[in-house]
């Protein structure tokens, strides 16, 4: 179990910095480089990341950050809904 001072890991091994994310995210078999994805696929990938975060919160990970992570998850959900509405996907 990570200590309270250890930041939560990124979903599916993605790196936390943009520079590292380009190489680490692209190398994963189930994660494409976000810059190379069409917008609908990027939204789907973000939905998967949101679901991963929600599952981690529900499983009791990072209790010190539970409220902040839950707020982040809600905001991400709202952002994704707005993006889908604007793109006519919803």
pLDDT digits (tens, 9 = 90+) for 21-50: 333 343 344 566 767 788 889 999 999 999
**Closest Cα to residue 45, out of 55, 31, 57?**
31
Q: Answer for the pair 25, 32: CB distance below 8 angstroms, yes or no.
A: yes
- Give pLDDT, residue 11: 58
The conformation of residue 7, written as its DSSP 8-state character, comes to P
Of 28, 8, 26, the residue nearest 18 (C-alpha): 26
Q: Alpha-carbon torsion 69, 75, 77, 79, what sign?
A: negative
pLDDT confidence of residue 51: 95
Percent of the chain with pLDDT over 70: 61
Looking at residue 12, its pLDDT comes to: 56
> What is the pTM (predicted TM-score) of this model?
0.60
Query: Can you give the pLDDT at residue 9?
Result: 58
Query: Which residues touch 48 (CB under 8 Å, ≥6 apart)?
Result: 11
């Amino acid at each position: 179990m990570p200590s309270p001072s250890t930041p939560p890991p990124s979903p599916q091994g993605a790196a936390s910095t943009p520079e590292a994310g380009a190489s680490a995210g692209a190398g994963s078999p189930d994660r494409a480089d976000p810059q190379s994805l069409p917008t609908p696929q990027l939204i789907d990938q973000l939905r998967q990341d949101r679901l991963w975060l929600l599952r981690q919160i529900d499983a009791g990970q990072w209790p010190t950050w539970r409220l902040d992570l839950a707020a982040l998850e809600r905001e991400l959900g709202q952002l994704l809904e707005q993006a889908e509405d604007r793109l006519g996907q919803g």
